[in-house]
Amino acid sequence: MFLRKLDHIKSKEDLFAISTVNIQSKRLQTAGHEMFGHGSGKLLFADKSGKCPVILNDPITLETIDSCYSEGESYADKFGEFASSYEECKADVTGLYLLKFKEMYEDFEITKHNPKATWKDLIMS
Protein backbone atom coordinates (compact mmCIF):
# COMPACT_ATOMS: atom_id res chain seq x y z
CA MET A 1 0.00 0.00 0.00
CA PHE A 2 1.25 3.45 -0.88
CA LEU A 3 1.26 6.08 1.87
CA ARG A 4 2.55 9.54 1.15
CA LYS A 5 4.76 11.16 3.75
CA LEU A 6 2.69 12.91 6.37
CA ASP A 7 5.05 15.24 8.23
CA HIS A 8 2.44 16.45 10.68
CA ILE A 9 1.88 12.95 12.08
CA LYS A 10 4.36 12.26 14.82
CA SER A 11 3.52 8.85 16.25
CA LYS A 12 3.52 5.43 14.63
CA GLU A 13 0.18 4.75 16.33
CA ASP A 14 -1.43 7.74 14.62
CA LEU A 15 0.00 6.75 11.24
CA PHE A 16 -1.31 3.20 11.71
CA ALA A 17 -4.76 4.52 12.70
CA ILE A 18 -4.91 6.79 9.64
CA SER A 19 -3.84 4.03 7.26
CA THR A 20 -6.40 1.66 8.82
CA VAL A 21 -9.17 4.23 8.47
CA ASN A 22 -8.13 4.87 4.87
CA ILE A 23 -8.32 1.17 4.03
CA GLN A 24 -11.72 0.87 5.70
CA SER A 25 -13.06 3.88 3.79
CA LYS A 26 -11.88 2.42 0.49
CA ARG A 27 -13.56 -0.91 1.30
CA LEU A 28 -16.77 0.90 2.13
CA GLN A 29 -16.59 2.85 -1.13
CA THR A 30 -16.15 -0.44 -2.97
CA ALA A 31 -19.18 -1.90 -1.19
CA GLY A 32 -21.27 1.12 -2.21
CA HIS A 33 -19.93 0.85 -5.76
CA GLU A 34 -20.79 -2.84 -6.13
CA MET A 35 -23.99 -3.16 -4.11
CA PHE A 36 -25.75 0.11 -4.77
CA GLY A 37 -24.00 1.48 -7.84
CA HIS A 38 -24.27 -1.67 -9.94
CA GLY A 39 -27.36 -2.92 -8.16
CA SER A 40 -29.70 -0.02 -8.79
CA GLY A 41 -31.63 1.67 -11.55
CA LYS A 42 -31.60 -1.03 -14.19
CA LEU A 43 -34.87 -2.80 -13.54
CA LEU A 44 -37.41 0.00 -13.44
CA PHE A 45 -40.02 -1.09 -15.94
CA ALA A 46 -43.20 0.76 -16.82
CA ASP A 47 -46.43 -0.88 -15.69
CA LYS A 48 -49.16 -2.03 -18.10
CA SER A 49 -50.52 1.52 -18.36
CA GLY A 50 -47.06 2.77 -19.46
CA LYS A 51 -46.34 4.68 -16.25
CA CYS A 52 -43.31 4.29 -14.04
CA PRO A 53 -44.42 2.41 -10.88
CA VAL A 54 -42.34 4.58 -8.52
CA ILE A 55 -41.85 8.31 -8.19
CA LEU A 56 -38.19 9.26 -8.45
CA ASN A 57 -36.49 12.63 -8.21
CA ASP A 58 -33.28 13.75 -9.84
CA PRO A 59 -30.88 14.20 -6.89
CA ILE A 60 -29.40 17.37 -8.41
CA THR A 61 -32.35 19.21 -9.94
CA LEU A 62 -35.04 17.56 -7.77
CA GLU A 63 -37.20 17.27 -10.89
CA THR A 64 -39.48 14.26 -11.10
CA ILE A 65 -38.25 11.43 -13.32
CA ASP A 66 -41.18 9.89 -15.09
CA SER A 67 -39.56 7.46 -17.48
CA CYS A 68 -38.84 3.76 -17.12
CA TYR A 69 -37.81 0.95 -19.37
CA SER A 70 -40.52 -0.37 -21.66
CA GLU A 71 -41.24 -4.07 -21.90
CA GLY A 72 -38.44 -5.76 -23.83
CA GLU A 73 -35.95 -2.89 -23.41
CA SER A 74 -32.64 -3.40 -21.63
CA TYR A 75 -29.96 -1.20 -20.15
CA ALA A 76 -27.69 -1.94 -23.12
CA ASP A 77 -30.48 -1.01 -25.56
CA LYS A 78 -30.92 2.38 -23.90
CA PHE A 79 -27.25 3.32 -23.58
CA GLY A 80 -25.75 1.44 -26.52
CA GLU A 81 -21.98 1.43 -26.86
CA PHE A 82 -21.68 3.64 -23.76
CA ALA A 83 -23.58 1.25 -21.48
CA SER A 84 -20.51 -0.30 -19.86
CA SER A 85 -18.69 3.01 -19.33
CA TYR A 86 -21.83 4.69 -18.05
CA GLU A 87 -22.47 1.80 -15.67
CA GLU A 88 -18.97 2.05 -14.15
CA CYS A 89 -19.26 5.82 -13.82
CA LYS A 90 -22.65 5.45 -12.12
CA ALA A 91 -21.25 2.86 -9.72
CA ASP A 92 -18.18 4.97 -8.87
CA VAL A 93 -20.23 8.08 -8.19
CA THR A 94 -22.71 6.11 -6.09
CA GLY A 95 -19.96 4.56 -3.96
CA LEU A 96 -18.33 7.94 -3.36
CA TYR A 97 -21.64 9.68 -2.65
CA LEU A 98 -22.66 7.08 -0.05
CA LEU A 99 -19.43 7.70 1.91
CA LYS A 100 -20.95 10.87 3.33
CA PHE A 101 -23.72 9.02 5.17
CA LYS A 102 -23.21 7.84 8.74
CA GLU A 103 -25.52 4.87 8.18
CA MET A 104 -23.09 3.30 5.71
CA TYR A 105 -20.38 3.17 8.37
CA GLU A 106 -22.80 1.83 10.96
CA ASP A 107 -24.41 -0.77 8.69
CA PHE A 108 -21.03 -2.15 7.65
CA GLU A 109 -19.76 -1.96 11.25
CA ILE A 110 -16.69 0.00 10.19
CA THR A 111 -16.36 1.93 13.45
CA LYS A 112 -16.88 -1.28 15.47
CA HIS A 113 -13.52 -2.59 14.21
CA ASN A 114 -11.73 0.67 14.93
CA PRO A 115 -13.34 2.07 18.11
CA LYS A 116 -11.12 5.16 18.16
CA ALA A 117 -12.41 6.25 14.76
CA THR A 118 -15.75 7.97 14.39
CA TRP A 119 -17.66 8.01 11.12
CA LYS A 120 -16.59 11.66 10.72
CA ASP A 121 -12.94 10.57 10.86
CA LEU A 122 -13.63 8.08 8.09
CA ILE A 123 -15.40 10.63 5.90
CA MET A 124 -12.31 12.81 5.96
CA SER A 125 -10.07 9.96 4.73
The region that residue 30 occupies, defined by phi over 0 for left and psi between -120 and 50 for alpha, beta otherwise, is alpha
Let me know: does 28 contact 121? Beta carbons within 8 Å: no
Between vectors from CA 50 to CA 47 and to CA 55, what angle results, nearest 5°? 70
Rounded to whole angstroms, the Cα distance separating 29 from 4 reads 20
Catalytic residue at 63?
Answer: no
* Amino acid present at 90: K
- List, in order, residues 6 or more apart from 40 with CB less than 8 Å away: 94
Choice among 34, 73, 88, 106 that is catalytic: 34
Catalytic residues: 34
